[in-house]
Amino acid sequence: MSITQQEASFIRGLQADMVQNPVYTGVERAILEQRLPPGMRLAETDLAEFYGVSRTIVRTGLQALAHSHLVTLRPNRGASVANPSPREAREVFEARELLEPRSAREAAMRAGRADVRALRAHAQEEHDAMRDNESGRALRLSGRFHVMIAQIANQRTIAEMIENLVSRSSLIIALYWTRSSTRCDEGCHNALIDALERNDATEAEELMRSHLVELHSALRFDVGDTSNLTLKDMLGDYTMPG
């Protein structure tokens, strides 16, 4: 039951080329795993050298990432990892709170045995990553869990939006997260899977809503305007959340 690359990219809503663009996949993953901090400069030449491709490929990859708001492109000044403002952070979570509960409801109505199995396997992977202290990987998987639910809901258009919002959440968490642990995820996600398994739409919707409110409430925006700390990030007082 393997699917083609083209189909995979269709599900993810991006150009077929991008799945085999090492810059796109590599930088995206590094951002989602918080190995690249917000504001980090992304020089085309460096990326080209690192991935062993020409600047042409680098540019198409960066442009795609810019469309997902994971990278900021300023004319004549190149690319950096996006640095979402408190406002953008709030908006992203508000949008998630609008879209995802409904998506979870729909997913609960449609979830089949295979879906539940895939979700449980995924939750196990999340658990392992947490246990092994791979907080970056755990965060990426945690986001992917939300995307999986959106996909079960079988609304590609909305699933794509959710995927975009979830990706941006990694950056937002890097900037504004206050707690030291994401342990809450584990319980929430398992409860959600249970609701989906029981096809309990109302419960799934409510669990998702409260889960997102919980996440949102763990963000602190009183760090002032961080729009131009392009270098400050790198100077040491930055701690990985989780």
Partner DNA sequence: AAGACGAAAACTGTATACAAACGTGAGAAG
Partner DNA sequence: CTTCTCACGTTTGTATACAGTTTTCGTCTT
Q: Which stretch binds DNA (CB under 7 A): 2-10, 32-40, 50-58, 207-215?
A: 50-58
Interface pick for DNA out of 5, 56, 124, 202 (rule CB under 7 A): 56
Structure tokens of 82? 């996006």
> In terms of DSSP H, where are the helices of the chain?
5-12, 22-32, 44-51, 55-67, 86-110, 113-131, 135-152, 156-176, 183-197, 201-217
Structure tokens of 119? 């979700």
Which of DNA, a second copy, none is residue 29 near (CB under 5 to 8 Å by kind)? none
**Contacts to DNA from residues 77-136, by CB under 7 A:** 77-79
Integer Cα distance of 82 and 28 in angstroms: 11
Q: Does 5 bind DNA (CB under 7 A)?
A: no
Which of DNA, a second copy, none is residue 94 near (CB under 5 to 8 Å by kind)? a second copy
- Displacement of CA 62 from its chain's centroid (Å): 17
Distance in Å, CB of 4 to DNA, minimum: 13
Tell whether the torsion through CA atoms of 205, 207, 209 and 211 is positive or negative.
negative
Distance in Å, CB of 114 to DNA, minimum: 32
Which of a second copy, DNA, none is residue 81 near (CB under 5 to 8 Å by kind)? none
Binding site for a second copy (CB under 8 A): 14-17, 59-60, 63-64, 66-67, 73-75, 87-88, 91-92, 94-95, 98-99, 102, 155-158, 161, 165
DSSP label at 198? T
* SS3 state of residue 231: coil
Question: For residue 68, how many other CB atoms are within 10 A of its CB?
Answer: 18
Which of DNA, a second copy, none is residue 155 near (CB under 5 to 8 Å by kind)? a second copy
- Displacement of CA 106 from its chain's centroid (Å): 21
**Contacts to DNA from residues 25-44, by CB under 7 A:** 42-44
Integer Cα distance of 156 and 7 in angstroms: 12
Which of a second copy, DNA, none is residue 165 near (CB under 5 to 8 Å by kind)? a second copy
Q: Does 22 bind DNA (CB under 7 A)?
A: no
Q: Does 228 bind DNA (CB under 7 A)?
A: no
Supply angle C-alpha 138, 141, 145, rounded to 5. 135
Which of DNA, a second copy, none is residue 95 near (CB under 5 to 8 Å by kind)? a second copy
- Chain residues binding DNA by CB under 7 A are 17, 42-46, 53-57, 59-60, 73, 75-79
